[in-house]
Chains A and B, each alone.
Chain A
């Protein structure tokens, strides 16, 4: 296992780099657990990403960095809370291409994707856009060579190891495999994001 590294980021932030995505998710979960238990000094933002967790707004970063290097991180347990079900129509324009990249039929591709339990590894790109992990390594797909200038809101898409759902219409280079009517982001709703880091997610086939 690659050693955990902790970098200073400017005056008041730390970047913790982990060896794998799973370790990153476990470290993030531990941070949230300690924060909820009042065992973490004040941190304004905790931002998980692919292989790192950023802690921003830290009063004594060097002191905290020393502690973070020493932590023992329990393995990531399956959470007890309910998974978020996202109804999806597998009708994306890139579905056939994705199935071909996987070397399976379209029907099998749909079965693989909808049978997978995903986890929101991190968010970014746009408010409420989650990077969902769960698909096996053999199902990684490249981004499209030419990004689309406009991807409709609710598009379910793949890139690299991730599945994501576009919260709103935007340019995008991911492979579009389906669409959902679920509202991924509503700033007036509590919580605003349907998919927050750490959430479990299932895609449920919606028949038309």
Chain B
């Protein structure tokens, strides 16, 4: 049996395989998927000498533990967390050599939510429509990790990894999301738009890879008619009937029938993906 594989010892709350997602299939109802914090996924790949779009593990809240069959270079980034190899502390945010058969444990996030684990050679699960990402909305790609899952690893390149970016931009104390109003802001009252721009929301515990749900003052509609389904983008701030904005993340549906009041800047979405429930969210309209 090849030693280019790893066994999952502790799957964690939700650990999935992610790369930079699948594009070009939204018209068939296929979400883009991919790492919620793509900067962190790219960084751990660079650290282990992979192309930036190699498949990595994305953990949620409490990390995961895996046992590679053969020696492999790994790097853990995204949410800061304790890292151990066979129980001994190892470095976070840099390349670490894990010996054959040793246990790599990625501990609970100290700040933020999602850690990323890159492996030299990348996770070599079979791509689906050009991506190895797990898509939780439509069930494409590999299933979320379970204890005992075995994942194949690709051949590691001889290139040494490099650090060329700060590994962690800092956890959001307060999540500031810059938004561009529209396309359906005129479906809301002027008061609702004022509320969105001035009031604080909080990240709801019901948030997931599909959307960041919020709790806060409801946004009232000026037009109560039903909106015919229309295409949705990453970062769309969709407002369901309860009036609480939902920010669409990577596994969002490709079409939807609730009006989008605004769209979050793509560069602000990594912080959204790392915001723990209860974090204050402010929507700041910009041009």
B236 CB–A CB distance under 8 Å: yes
B240 CB–A CB distance under 8 Å: no
Residues facing B in A89-103 (CB within 8 A) are: none
Categorize the interface residue count of chain A. 35 or more
Q: Which residue, B27, B139, B182, has most C-beta atoms of chain A within 10 A?
A: B27
Further contacts, 5 of them, CB under 8 A, given A11-B180, A45-B26, A50-B229: A52-B231, A56-B231, A124-B253, A127-B25, A131-B229
- In the assembled complex, the CB of A54 is this many whole angstroms from the nearest CB of chain B, namely 3
Complex formed: what's the CA distance from A193 to B263 in Å?
29
Please give, as numbers and ranges, the residues of chain A lying within 8 Å of B30 by CB-CB distance.
127
Is the Cβ of B230 less than 8 Å from the Cβ of A54?
yes
Q: A9-B182, A44-B24 are in contact. Are A128 and B231 (CB under 8 A)?
A: no
Residues facing A in B127-173 (CB within 8 A) are: 128-129, 138-140
- Can you pick out 19 interface pairs between chain A and chain B where the beta carbons lie within 8 Å of each other? A7-B182, A9-B260, A10-B233, A10-B264, A10-B265, A12-B266, A45-B26, A45-B231, A47-B26, A47-B231, A47-B254, A47-B255, A49-B230, A52-B228, A122-B27, A122-B255, A125-B255, A128-B29, A129-B29
B191 CB–A CB distance under 8 Å: no
- In the assembled complex, the CB of A28 is this many whole angstroms from the nearest CB of chain B, namely 9
Smallest CB gap from A191: residue in B: B28
- In the assembled complex, the CB of A194 is this many whole angstroms from the nearest CB of chain B, namely 10
Is the Cβ of A196 less than 8 Å from the Cβ of B28?
yes
Categorize the interface residue count of chain B. 20 to 34
Q: Provide the main secondary structure of the chain B interface.
A: loop
Which among B25, B140, B265 is the interface contact of A11 at CB below 8 angstroms?
A: B265
Is the Cβ of B26 less than 8 Å from the Cβ of A125?
no
Is the Cβ of A9 less than 8 Å from the Cβ of B128?
no
Complex formed: what's the CA distance from A125 to B233 in Å?
15
Is the Cβ of A13 less than 8 Å from the Cβ of B233?
yes
Complex formed: what's the CA distance from A12 to B236 in Å?
12
